[in-house]
Chains A and B, each alone.
Chain A
């Protein structure tokens, strides 16, 4: 079955520790994204990658880092510099369709990070 996997579903960390969230897709999509969701707020873009070995900052990149060494994988590291890391993190990927500008989105199940 094709899809996006994120692990783990729930993650607990102590304040000051870096933590890496996994995102893997077997959909052969070029583009991948990380979003953050806080209660009562819309999702916000952290980082995105259009192609292997390239990624761009989103709206709230401070305190986060990513890598894109393989097409299938786009891990997100939440560093100790992120002031308020407790949130729900969603990974997504997309494929270009239509006239080359329509990106259909596919989402992973999410990781709920709690920093104690």
Chain B
């Protein structure tokens, strides 16, 4: 079993829909990261969370430390949100090195 599990693996939505991607982990962490990877391959860090909730524009990330679970929400989705969304965790004492989920491929149709 992977230490970081994401669901769903693939997600298709219509423009304007509310989207949720889930991430569960089974290890002790110092932080959880949500990353975005576009078709060209480059990765952008969206959020780094150690507790609670963060919001940036139409993106919201939450984490429940007790349940070892995080969600990434996209409100009013748009075709430009189409990308791979990756959940990753920094292990306690791991000096920042990340353990990654498999990624969620999101496609938003106009």
| Contact flags A74-108 to B (C-beta < 8 A → 1, else 0) | 00000000000000101010101010011111111
The answer on a CB contact under 8 Å between B102 and A109 is no
B101 near A104: Cβ-Cβ < 8 Å: no
Listed stretches B13-21, B41-49, B52-60; interface member: B41-49
Interface size class of chain A, counting residues whose CB lies under 8 Å from the partner chain: 20 to 34
Interface centre among B33, B97, B102 (most CB of A within 10 A): B97
Q: Are A102 and B97 in contact (CB under 8 A)?
A: no
Chain A residues in 8 Å Cβ range of B44: 107
* Given A42-B101, A43-B100, A103-B4 contact (CB < 8 Å): no
Known A-B contacts A58-B97, A104-B45; the reply to A42 vs B102 at CB < 8 A is yes
* Interchain nearest-CB distance for A26 vs B (Å): 17
Mark each residue of chain B from 72 to 110: 1 if its CB lies under 8 Å from any CB of chain A, else 0: 000000000000001010101001111111110000000
State which of A33, A43, A102 has its C-beta within 8 Å of the C-beta of B31. Answer: A102
Select one of B30, B31, B86, B90 contacting A42, CB under 8 A: B86
CB distance from B84 to the nearest CB of A (A): 10
Assess the A42–B95 pair: CB atoms within 8 A.
no
Complex CA gap A31/B95 in Å reads 8
Residue A41 at the B interface, CB < 8 A?
yes
| Cα–Cα, bound, A70→B93 (Å) | 24
Using CB atoms, name the residue of chain A closest to B43.
Answer: A107
Whether A110 contacts B42 by the Cβ 8 Å rule is yes
Write the chain B residue with the least CB distance to A108. B42
| Contact in complex: A101, B42 (CB < 8 Å) | no
Q: Does A68 contact B (CB under 8 A)?
A: no
Q: Please list 12 pairs of residues, one from A and one from B, whose beta carbons are closer than 8 Å in the complex, sorted by A's number.
A: A31-B95, A41-B102, A42-B2, A43-B86, A43-B98, A58-B97, A94-B96, A101-B30, A101-B31, A102-B30, A103-B96, A107-B42
Residues of B within 8 A of A (CB): 2, 4, 30-31, 33, 35, 40-45, 48, 50, 86, 88, 90, 92, 95-103
